[in-house]
Amino acid sequence: MKNINRRQFIKRSGAFVAAASLPISLVEIAFGKNHPQNFTFGFISDSHITHIKGKEFVRNWDQGLKRAVAEANMMDPRPDFIIYGGDLAQLGKPEEIDHALDMLSGLRYPVKYVMGEHDYYLDLGRHWQKRLGPDRYSFDHKGVHFIVLNSILTHDKWIHRNWKDGMARMKQMARLDNPDGSPFLVGEAQRKWMQNDLAKVSHDTPVVVLSHSPLQKIYKGWNFWTDDAEQVHSLLKPYKKATVLYGHVHQIQYNQIDNIRFHSVMATAWPWPYPATYAQGVSHLPKLTVPMNRADPFFERDATGWQFINLHSGDVDLNYVLWENNTNRIVRFDPQKNHPVDTRFQDPDKRIPPQTHY
Ligand SMILES: [Fe+2]
Ligand SMILES: [Fe+2]
């Protein structure tokens, strides 16, 4: 097998890490040491390509995606494919989706796409689907069953409200702490489809669900929330190895609910919450409504980076490569505890006390 060599991977991309700053991830699925079916894939997410006018786009977000493409092309070992986790666009405009896909066309690997809410709510995913095909599908790769969901749907009543136009709806969905917003849903039709899809998959097969929203209930005000999460969990309950990888939250999160492991990936655009220096680009950022702790508010690329994911025996180890002066983090599956742990915070001597200010 091509045993993943993290040091080698990082060394290869080191020139980029030193030179600039942005995020992708590499996932390894391993069936045991030296197993011939082990493989890796990359993960890029949340580029939020933003059209200004004509051929002008917000440069910082363009640069993030370009860098992720360049780093992914330098991955060693070569990933079998790349997952793009959603939010190609900021306001779902065809110009934004097309420009993002132009940049992503530089990848030397096949790419599988996940729908984000910023790609969807302008035209209900029409342009995205025209370019990329169905927004829910499944595939098998070397013994692992992957399910791609459109997890950013919401109630039909809200979607078909008396909006002035699609852009008005898109902007409402993009707002934080919006009393006129609506929580994400996988929805009944898609859950039924998922149930049928899983009917063919043995309970010993590792299952990886690729979703834009977290498929958990984390924070409703910012739609870090999927309203029918429990119903999706129940479909995954019989599986010995079930993992959900998601974008959307632009920050490191990991969790385990029953048998299901959850890992977020970071954005190539901005981290949530973003540092004060980002205020320079305020017209291109959602209004920050909830102050949250940050590791360090003085680094503008704090909490951006890319991920290197080792999915061994169906369990995920996620290596976050954080740019600038951030310390890299590893969230690793702990077989003793039977859940993922952030290795940096397991040693009591190295434990960082909770921050009391931001
Ligand atoms: Fe996003
Ligand atoms: Fe999103």
Centroid of ligand 1 to alpha carbon of 240 (angstroms): 30
To the question of pTM greater than 0.95 for the whole model, the response is no
Centroid of ligand 2 to alpha carbon of 8 (angstroms): 32
**Lowest-confidence region among 57-66, 140-149, 163-172, 272-281:** 272-281
When pLDDT is cut at 50, 70 and 90, the band that residue 309 belongs to is: low
d(CA 23, CA 17): 10
Alpha helices (runs of H) in the chain, residue ranges in sequence order: 6-19, 59-73, 94-104, 117-120, 126-132, 156-159, 166-174, 188-198, 229-236
d(CA 295, CA 286): 20
What is the three-class DSSP state of 306? strand
Centroid of ligand 1 to alpha carbon of 66 (angstroms): 17
**Lowest-confidence region among 141-145, 166-170, 246-250, 312-316:** 312-316
Q: Looking at per-residue confidence, does 126 or 39 come out higher?
A: 126
When pLDDT is cut at 50, 70 and 90, the band that residue 307 belongs to is: low
Residue range 6-343 forms a domain whose CATH class is: alpha beta
Centroid of ligand 1 to alpha carbon of 48 (angstroms): 6
Centroid of ligand 1 to alpha carbon of 21 (angstroms): 18
Do residues 43 and 307 touch, judged by C-beta distance below 8 A?
yes
Centroid of ligand 1 to alpha carbon of 212 (angstroms): 8
Centroid of ligand 2 to alpha carbon of 258 (angstroms): 25
- pLDDT value of position 238: 97
Centroid of ligand 1 to alpha carbon of 3 (angstroms): 32
Centroid of ligand 1 to alpha carbon of 348 (angstroms): 34
Centroid of ligand 1 to alpha carbon of 146 (angstroms): 22
- Per-chain mean pLDDT for the chain: 80
Q: What is the mean pLDDT of residues 250-259?
A: 83
Asked if residue 357 has pLDDT above 50, the reply is no
* Ligand of minimum distance to the alpha carbon of 268: 1
Centroid of ligand 1 to alpha carbon of 264 (angstroms): 12
* Ligand of minimum distance to the alpha carbon of 212: 2
Taking only the tens place, the pLDDT of each residue in 180-222 is 899 999 999 999 999 999 999 999 999 999 999 999 988 888 8
Asked if residue 16 has pLDDT above 80, the reply is no
- pLDDT value of position 22: 38
Centroid of ligand 1 to alpha carbon of 86 (angstroms): 7
What is the three-class DSSP state of 6? helix
What are the residue boundaries of the structural domains of the chain, listed by start? 6-343
